[in-house]
Structure 1
Amino acid sequence: MSIAYFRAVSVGALGGLAAFLTLGPAAPYGAQLFAALIGWAGYIHLGGKLDGLKKSVPHDLLGVALAAVALLAAAHLPYGEVVSPAASTGIAVAITLVALVLSAKAPALAEWPVSLAAYATLLATSHADDLAALSPSNPALLAALSLIAGAILGYLADQLAEALLKLPLPGQKAPSAARG
């Protein structure tokens, strides 16, 4: 069998587990399925394996941090009294997105689209008022944790697929190293 079948099974199983956990037992703690899946996609985009996991975390954290800055700036800086809320949000988003793309000059943050996905995740799921609270329910913290959990799920899915590939199939004496 091809690794693609085992990967499909492992992604389906762990994706289903993620849905159950984020919508069930972890829901009261603010777990976000949307953010977990975005984190998983970033992990895959960055090459998967342990290296992809190591690369995805800084991208996710940067995206969430800059989105939080944009939301807080749009809501709390004095220019909000001079221009409309839409304009102040537009200015804050524009400035933080410039910073996000320029951060790609740092090798550890070179894949800025992954950071952009994390940025969008926070913008899609929170309000500036919620970000000002230093609490375990802070949306930036919850988004970051959910993104990182998604990357970890991607890593676990890869590991599960590799383990399944090594199992002998019915009627097979030993796993073939050439399967793929």
Structure 2
Amino acid sequence: MNLVTALAIVIGALGAIATYLVLGPAAGLQLQIWIVFIAWASYFHCGGNEAAAKSSFVANVWGAVCATVALILIGKLGGQGLIVISIIVGVTVAIMILGAHVPLLSAIPAAVYGYAATAGYALLSKADAMNFAPGGVLTTVVLSCLVGVIFGWLSGKIAGAIAK
């Protein structure tokens, strides 16, 4: 079987399992299946191997941290208007990209995925960016990204074995 077909079968099956777990038994963790899938794709975007698991997850978290800082600053200063909000986003995104000078943070697209997922979750859930408990913005994104990278790694291993 070719690798694309194997990946289709394995990712389809594991996607169903991930959805079941996130919406069922693990619902109390408030993981977000859409963030799981973003991190899963990020894993493959970064190379789909052990090194990719590390680079993707660390960069996802780096982006999530930068977005969380932006959300906290917007919460404190955002009442001053759209220009201030826009500057906060611009500065935190620039800092996020400059982080790529550090080899561990060099997967810029993965950092952007983490930033975007964090902003998206915060806007959709209206969760407090200062809440670091389960369901809090940063905690939810980081845990969801971890699950996504694990499922990415697992799907790559299984599909690789099937394709041989």
The whole-number CA distance in structure 2 between the counterparts of 1:159 and 1:32 is 23
2:96 alignment partner AA:
L
Shift of 1:110: 1.7
Q: 1:48 matched to which residue of 2? A: 48
1:81-160 aligned at under 5 Å gives the runs: 81=79, 83-84=80-81, 86-126=82-122, 130-160=128-158
Shift of 1:34: 1.0
Query: Taking structure 1 as reference, are residues 135 and 22 closer, same or farther at Cα in structure 2, changes over 3 Å only?
Result: same
The structure with the largest alpha-carbon Rg is: 1
Preserved CA contact (<8 Å) 1:60 1:148: no
The whole-number CA distance in structure 2 between the counterparts of 1:165 and 1:14 is 16
What is the percentage of aligned positions where both structures have the same residue? 31
Q: 2:70 matched to which residue of 1? A: 70
The whole-number CA distance in structure 1 between the counterparts of 2:161 and 2:56 is 23
Gaps of 5+ in 2: none
Deviations 1:120-147 (A, max 9, x none): 0010011576121242332211111101
The whole-number CA distance in structure 1 between the counterparts of 2:145 and 2:63 is 10
Normalised by the length of structure 2, the TM-score is 0.91
The whole-number CA distance in structure 1 between the counterparts of 2:18 and 2:127 is 28
Normalised by the length of structure 1, the TM-score is 0.83
Structure that is richer in helix per residue? 2
State how many pairs are aligned: 162
Instruction: Provide the alpha-carbon RMSD of the alignment.
Output: 1.7
Structure 1 segments of 4+ aligned residues over 6 angstroms from their partners: none
Gaps of 5+ in 1: 167-180
The whole-number CA distance in structure 2 between the counterparts of 1:40 and 1:29 is 18
